[in-house]
Structure 1
Amino acid sequence: MMNLLGKQGAPRILSCAAACLLALTLGACSSIPVPNFPGVYKIPIAQGNIITQEMIDQLEPGMTRRQVIYVMGTPLVRDPYNQDRWDYVFNYQPGGEERGQERISLHFENDALTRFEGDFEPAEGAAWYSVSQDTAEASDTDAS
C-alpha cells in the first residue's frame, strides 16, 4: 500500500495543526490586559457633559430652563416621559486609568428649577447652600 502523505507528510500536518492551535489560543486571550509599556501615551477619554463645582454653584432656585442651559449646557439625557427632569452625565477615563463618572439630575416645576440631586453638593455661599441647610434643619426638627 502506498503512503499518500509521503515521507514527511505527517510532521508537516502536525506542525500546521500546532500553528493553528497556537493562533486560536492567542486569539482567545484577547481579554488578558495588555501590559503598560513605559513611554506609551494613552489618550484621556471624556464623554458627556463636563460638570464642575462652579457650574453647580451658579444654579439658583427658580431658574428657567433657558438659564439652566446657559449655565450647564444642553442636558445629555431628556426623559421623553418626564420633561421636568434633566440628567447630566460625565464619563472620563484619564490615560488608561480607572474610569470615573459624575452625574447630576435637575428637576423643574412650571419651567422653574426646584431641586437637584447627584454627585455634587452646593458650596458655601451658593444660592442652593442656604436652601439645603434649611431643608436639613427642617428634617432634624421633624425627627425630634
Structure 2
Amino acid sequence: MRSLILALSVTLTACSAPSLTGWISPYQMDIPQGNTVSEESLAKIKPGMSRAQVRFVLGTPLLTDPFHADRWDYAFRLTRNGKLAEDTRLTLFFSGDTLVKAETHGLTQPTAAVPTTP
C-alpha cells in the first residue's frame, strides 16, 4: 500500500512539472480575417478607374467609413497558433467616382501604376 501511494505521488508530481507542460499546448486553428488582395489584382488597379471597376477587380471593401466616403480599406489578417502571421492593408482614395491614389502596408511589391505612400 505504501509503494502504491508513493508511485501515485511521483506520477502526480511529474504531471504537474512546469517543464513538461510548457511544450504541450492545444491545437489552435488558423484564423484568416478580411479581404485577400493578391499582387496580380493590385497590379490591375490604375489611377482614374471608377469605383465600379475597382470593386469588380478587388471585390467589396471590408471597411467603408461613413465619415470618409472617398476612402476604401481592404484589410487582411492571418493568425497562426495564436500569433499574428500576416497583416496587410490597402487603402484606396477616390475623388468623386475616380481613383486618385492607393496606400499599401504589408504587400511585398506595391505596383508602380498606383502612387503609393508608406
**Which range, TM-score by smaller chain?**
0.5 to 0.7
Q: CA RMSD in A?
A: 2.5
Q: Provide the TM-score with structure 2 as the length reference.
A: 0.67
Structure 2 segments unaligned to the other structure (5+ residues): 1-20
Deviation at 1:97, TM superposition (A): 5.3
Stretches of 4+ aligned residues off by more than 2 angstroms: 34-38, 120-123
Percent identity for Structure 1 against Structure 2 = 37
Counterpart check, 1:54 vs 2:40: yes
Bigger CA radius of gyration: 1
Deviation at 1:41, TM superposition (A): 4.6
Q: Summarize the Cα distance change of 1:36–1:106 in structure 2 as closer, same or farther, 3 Å threshold.
A: farther
Deviation at 1:78, TM superposition (A): 0.7
Counterpart check, 1:72 vs 2:58: yes
Counterpart Cα distance in 1 of 2:23 and 2:90: 33
Counterpart Cα distance in 1 of 2:27 and 2:54: 37
Greater share of residues in strand = 2
2:90 matched to which residue of 1? Answer: 104
Counterpart check, 1:87 vs 2:36: no
SS in 1 for 2:83: coil
Counterpart Cα distance in 2 of 1:58 and 1:36: 46
Deviation at 1:36, TM superposition (A): 5.0
Counterpart Cα distance in 1 of 2:100 and 2:56: 17
Query: 1:24-63 counterparts in 2 under 5 A?
Result: 35=22, 37=24, 41-63=27-49
Structure 1 segments unaligned to the other structure (5+ residues): 1-33, 133-144
SS in 1 for 2:88: strand
Aligned residues: 94
1:122 matched to which residue of 2? Answer: 110
Spell out, residue by residue over 1:54-90, the C-alpha distance to the aligned partner (whole angstroms, 9 max, x if none): 1211101111111111111111111101110001111
Counterpart Cα distance in 1 of 2:62 and 2:69: 13
